Structure 1
Amino acid sequence: MKLTDLIKDQTAWFVEFHSGTMFYELSGSGFRFAVPVDELQGASVGATEKASVFLKWIKRAHKQINRSQG
């Protein structure tokens, strides 16, 4: 799936927090990605946000998945 298709008009929902990492899931696809708290640099994020707010971390997770699928 293309990155643009993955995030377009989608909402990211907070799922869980574990070991300093917040996990969110995209509403339409169920795509799950990690957001390390130390990378937020003091920014506030809500339980639901536009997917585009998390573009940096969505891109990272998308790349990792594509690499592992070869």
Structure 2
Amino acid sequence: MKIIEAMDHIHQIDHSASAIKGAADSTKSSWGEGRTDELLQALRVISDHSELLKESAEALTAEVVG
């Protein structure tokens, strides 16, 4: 179960990183309306899921180590 949770967090981080890349690519020439909000939201998601991934990894390690 912990592995599935960790994989979900990895997926969310990857998805948000892709969103940041897309937003950054589209704003190279100028900062469009709302693009800054998209970037900030994607960064929040990455931060949140990174913390959850860390917690999942710690719990999984505790289960394996016993």
Q: Under a length normalisation based on structure 1, what TM-score does the superposition of the two structures give?
A: 0.32
Larger helix proportion, structure 1 or 2? 2
Higher CA-based Rg: 2
Higher relative contact order (CA 8 A, sep 6+): 2
